[in-house]
A and B are shown apart, each in its own frame.
Chain A
Amino acid sequence: MKKRTTSQLAVSALLILIALALAAAGAWGLAARGGQEASDNLLRMRNYAVLRTASGAIIEETVLQAKRDARDVGRDKGLSRNDITVLMDEQGAIAQAAAEERYQTFDNLDTQALSLAVENLESAMSRYTALETREKAAYADEWLAQQEALEAAQAASGEEALSAETQAVSEDAMMAATQTRVDYSGFVPSAELSLLEEGLTPSYDAMYDVLAAALPDLRPEMREDLRPSLLEVVQGGNSPFVQEYDNYASRGAQGVLEGAEARNMIIARQAGNLIVLAVGFVIFALTVYYYKALKRSLGMPRLVISLFFILLCVMAALYNINVPGMISTVLWRTGMYGVLALAMLPGIQAGISLNMGMTVGIIAGLISTLIALEMNMVGWGSFFFSVIVGILLAIPIGLVYGKLLNRLKGSEMTVSTYVGFSFVSLFSIAWMLLPFNNPKLTWALGSGLRVMHNMGDSFGQILDRFLAFDILGVHVPTGLLLFFLLCCLLMWVFTRSRPGNAMVAAGANPRFAGAAGVNVDKMRIIGTTISTVIAAVGIIVYSQSFGFMQLYNGPRQMGFVAASAILIGGATVSRAKVSHVIIGTFLFQGVLALGIQVANAAIQEGGLSEVMRILISNGIILYALTQSGGESRG
C-alpha cells in the first residue's frame, strides 16, 4: 500500500504554493507601508477624503432640495401621499446622480494650497490629540478608582445593584459586561489643552477657505457644520497605516488612486491578514500531507474539530478580535464546564457508557446550593457547605441509580437519558412546592423558587477570584482551574488505586473481570455513584463561576454538554481517560467561545453560535454511537 497518493501530494504542494504567494505578498505589503510611494498615496487620499467630505455635504443638500421641490410639485398637482413619496425618491435619485457626476473631479482646485493647509491643520491636531489622550488617560484612572471605592462602599452597606438582579443574563452577555466603560462626561480640559483647541481654529479656517475657493457651492454656515467631520478626516497624530487607510477609505478616497497604485495600497492595507491566511494555508497543507497519520492518532471527529478550531483562530485574527480577551474567555469556560465533563469519566470507565442521567447528581448539587442560599451563608463557608452537602445527597441517589442501571445492561444510555429528563421535570414540580422561604429565592408573587439565582452575595466567583491574576491582558481564574485540575488529579489517583483498577477492568471487559473475581455489578455501582457525586460538585462549580444558578429546565441539557466534551477529547462510549476530559473541554469550549465572537463579527445576527453548538454537540454524540458497534450490544 502506498503511503500517500499522488493527488494528496499535489494538493498539499499547491496549498503550500498558495501560502508562499500569500506570505510573499503580505511581506511585500508590510515593507511597502513604510515606503515613499505609500505615504505619498496616503497624503493624496487624505486630501481627496477632505474634498469628498466637503462635497458630500453639498450633494446631500442638493438632494434634499430636489426632494423638497418634488414634494411641492406633487402637492400642487394634488397627488396622493404614496405617489408623492415615489416622486420624491425619484427626483432625489436623479439629483444625487447629477451631483455625484459634478463633484467627481475638482477643476478649480489649488492642490498645493490644500496640501499645505491640511498639513498645517494636522500638525495642530497632533499636538492637541497627544495632550488630550494623556489628560483623558489620567482622568480614566481617577474615575475607575472612584468607581471601585463607590462599589466597595455599596457592598459594605449591603445594598446590591438592582440592575443585575432584574436583567435576564445569558453567557454571551456576561462576557461583554466584564469590560467597564469610562464615563467621560465629567472630564474638564486643562488650560493648556483649551489653548491648543483654540489654536485649531485658524488652521481649520485656512483649510476651509481653500475648500470654499474650490467649491463655490459651499454655504457659509457649512463652515461650522462640517468642522467635526473634517477634523475627523484629518485626525492627525501618527496613527498606524491601517487605521489611517481605513479612515480615508471610508470616505470614498480610494477613487483618487488608479490601477496598480490602488492594488498596491490594498495589498499594503491587508498585509497582516495575508500573512495570517498564509499560516492557515500552511496548516491546511500539512494536514493534507499528514492526513493518514493524523486521522489515526486523533480520530476523524477530533481532527475535524481541531481543524475547525484552527480555522476559527485564523478568522478571529482576520476580524481583529481581541486575542487576550478571547483566551481569558476560553480559560474561564474550560474551568466552568470542566468538572461537569469529568463526571462522565467514571461512568464510561465503569462500563455504563455515557451517563446522561448525571442530571440526578446535578439536582443534588442544586439542592445543597439552595440550602446554603436559604440560610444566607456567605463566602468560602457556603461553598464548602454546598459541596459537602451536595456530595452527601448525591451518594445515596447514585447508589440507587447504579442499582437500577445494573438491571438495564446494554441500554444504559437510552434509559439514563430519559431517567435524567424525568428527574429534571419532577424537580421542576419540586422547585414550585419545596418549603424554601428566603425572599431572595422565591417569587415575589405566588409561591415557588425563581428560575435564576444570583450567586453574587453568597459564593459567586469565589473560586474564579482566588489567586486570579492578569498576564499580558489574559485573565487567569487560578482558583477555578486549580480546583478543576485537583478533581482530575483525584480521579486519576483513584483509577491507579486498587478499587479503581478493578472498576476500570470491570468496565473494559466485564466477562474477564468477573472471571478474575471482580464483582462487576458492585464496580458499576461505584462508578455510577462517583459520576453522580462529581456531577453534584460540577454544577456547584459551574454556578459559582457563571455567577447564577439556574433551576427548572436549566440542567436538562447539561449531560449532553458534558458528553460532547469528553467525546471530543477522544473518548469513546466504552473507553476514556482523564486527558480526554481536559483536552475535550478545552477544545469544545474553545470552539464555542471563539465561534460566538467570530460569528458575531462575521454577520451581525445572533443565533449562529447556538446553531453551531447544537450541531457540534449532537453530531459528536451521534458519531460516538455509530462507533459503539451496535450489533454487539443488540
Chain B
Amino acid sequence: MADQLGKKRQVKDAVRENLREYIVTYVFLALSVLFVILSGRTLQDIFSQLMGRLTRNLFIVLSLIIPIIAGMGINFAITIGAMAAQVGLMLAINWDLQGFTGLLAAAGITLPLAAFFGFLIGSLLNKMKGQETIGSLILGYFANGAYQLLFLFIFGKVIPLSSKVTIVGASGVANTLNLMGGGLYMALDKIWQVPFDVCLYVVSGVILAASITLFLLKKMSRKRFIILASVSVIFSALVAFVPAVGTMVGTTTVPIFVFLLVGLLCLFNVVIMRTRLGQKFRAVGQSRTVANAAGINVNRVRVIAIMISTVLAGWGQIIFIQNLGTLQTYSAHEMVGLYAGASILVGGASLNRATNTQAIVGTLLFHLLFVVSQDAGKTLFGNANVGEFFRVFVAYGVIAVALVMHTWRANMARAKKSTLQA
C-alpha cells in the first residue's frame, strides 16, 4: 500500500517536473493547434509548407547546441556565420559556378571565413563572460554594419565583380541575387527527392530494426525500446491506413540529401560529446571554476565551441538560401539568430542545456506557428498584419521568457546556496 502511494507520488513529481521543464513547449503546442484550426487552411497545404521550412531551418537551429552545452547561452552571433556564407554564395554566383559545384565552392569559402570570424567572436565573448547572449546579439548588429560596408563600398569598387552580382549605376552588390540562373537553386534538394510516405516507411523500418537489435543485444533500455518501436509503427500505420493523414502527407516530397546532412549533424552533436573535447565542453558549461581547476583551458574550449557553431551556421545558411532561390543580399542574415534561438527554446532547451530532439521539435513547432499565424490573425481580427506582428512578438517573447526563467532559477539556486552556507 505504502509502496503504491510512493510510486504514485513519484509519478506525480515526475509529471510536475516535466511540466516545469517543458511548459513553454506545451503552451506553444496548444497555441499551434489552435492556430491551425483558426487558419482554416488545408492540412495538406500546411504540411508541405512546413516540410519546406524544416528543410531550410533545421541545420541552422542544430548549430546552436554546442555553445549552449559549453555554457555560452544562445549564440546569436550565428548571424555572422550566415554573413560568411553569403559572401561565399555571392562569389559563387560571381564566378558563374553551377549547381552542386557552386554550392560546394560556397561552402568551401564559408569554412575558413566563418572559422576565422568564430575565433574573433569567441575571443570577444571571453571578455564578457556571463553576458554572452546580449554580447553575441550586439556583435551580430555590429557585424551587420561591417557587412554593409563590405558589400556596398568595397565589393564592386575595390574588389571588382562581374555584372552577374552588380547593377550598373548603383554602388556595391545588387540588392537581390537570383540563384535560378546558375542552377544553384535547390541544387541540394534536387539531388534525391522521395515522397514523404515512402521515406517514412523506410525510416521507420530502419529504426524498428535497429532498436530491436540493440534491445536484444541489451544495449537499450526496455522503456526506450518501447517508445521508439511504437512511435515508428504508429506513424507508419497512421499514414498507411488513415485516409485523412494519407492525403495530408500526399504530395509532399522529402529532399533526402538535406535531411542526410541534418542527420549527420545530429550524429556529430552526439558523437562529439563522447570525445575528450565534448567532455571539456560539458565541464566548462557546468562550472568554469571547476573546469579551470581541472586543468582545462577554459577560454580555448569556449572559442572552439563558437568556431564550430559559426561554421555550421554558415553551412546552414547555404542550405537555407539554396532552398529559397533568391538571396536578399542586405537582409537575409538579419533574422537568422532570432528565429533559430526562438526555435530551440520553444523545443524546451534552456540557456545551459539543449539536445537534438529539442532543436528538432522546437523548429517544427515554431515554424508551424509561423506558417499559420497570418491566416489565424485574419480569422481572429480580420487583419493578416496582426498575425505577422504576432509571430515576431512570439519570437521575442519566447526568448524573453526563457531568459527570465533561466536567470530566476539560477538566482534562486544561488540564494539557497548562500542561506545554506550561512
User: Which residues on A are within 8 Å of B, measured CB to CB?
Assistant: 404, 407-411, 413-415, 417-419, 421-422, 425-426, 428-429, 432-433, 446-448, 560, 603, 605, 607-608, 610-615, 618-619, 621-622, 625-626, 628, 630-631, 633-634
Contact = CB atoms under 8 A, between A and B. Distances in A.
Interface stretch (B17-25, B142-150, B189-197, B259-267): B142-150
24 contacts: A404-B404, A410-B411, A411-B130, A414-B131, A418-B396, A418-B400, A418-B403, A422-B400, A425-B392, A426-B393, A446-B383, A603-B153, A608-B149, A611-B148, A611-B153, A618-B138, A619-B142, A622-B139, A628-B131, A630-B127, A630-B128, A630-B131, A633-B129, A633-B130
Given A422-B393, A614-B144, A448 B385 contact: yes
A425 B124 CA distance: 30
A611 B129 contact: no
B347 interface: no
Contacts of B257: none
B279 interface: no
Contacts of B138: 618, 621-622, 625
Contacts of A607: 148, 152, 171
Nearest to A429: B389
B134 A615 contact: no
A422 B397 contact: yes
Contact of B392 (A413, A428, A634): A428
B414 to A, nearest CB: 9
B358 interface: no
Contacts of B145: 611-615, 618
Contacts of B399: 418, 422
B102 interface: no
A628 B130 CA distance: 10
A630 B407 contact: no
A615 B143 CA distance: 8
A630 B288 CA distance: 12
B389 A625 contact: no
Given A621-B138, A625-B135, 20 more contacts: A410-B411, A414-B133, A417-B137, A418-B403, A419-B404, A425-B389, A428-B393, A429-B386, A432-B381, A432-B383, A433-B381, A448-B385, A607-B148, A608-B152, A614-B141, A614-B148, A618-B139, A625-B127, A633-B129, A634-B129
Interface string B373-409: 0000000011101100110110011011001100110
B407 A411 contact: yes
B404 A408 contact: yes
Interface of chain B: mostly helix, strand, loop or mixed: helix
A128 B139 CA distance: 62
A119 B278 CA distance: 88
A487 B408 CA distance: 35
Contacts, number: 134
B171 A605 contact: yes
A605 B169 CA distance: 11
A408 B135 contact: no
Contact of B128 (A417, A418, A422, A625): A625
A408 B130 contact: no
Contacts of A417: 134, 137
Nearest to A557: B141
Interface in B135-185: 135, 137-139, 141-142, 144-146, 148-149, 152-153, 171
Interface in B92-141: 124, 127-131, 133-135, 137-139, 141
Contacts of A628: 128, 131
Contact of A615 (B124, B137, B142, B400): B142
Contacts of A633: 129-131
Nearest to B388: A428
A163 B138 CA distance: 38
B148 A625 contact: no
A419 B403 CA distance: 9
B333 to A, nearest CB: 14
B389 A415 contact: no
B84 to A, nearest CB: 18
A559 B135 CA distance: 15
A608 B153 contact: yes
Nearest to A633: B130
Nearest to B414: A410
Contacts of B134: 413-414, 417, 625
Nearest to A419: B400
A418 B142 CA distance: 17
Contacts of A631: 129-130
Nearest to A421: B396
Contacts of B144: 614
Choose among B127, B152, B383 the residue with the greatest number of A CB atoms under 10 Å from its CB.
Answer: B127
A613 B404 CA distance: 30
B130 A410 contact: yes
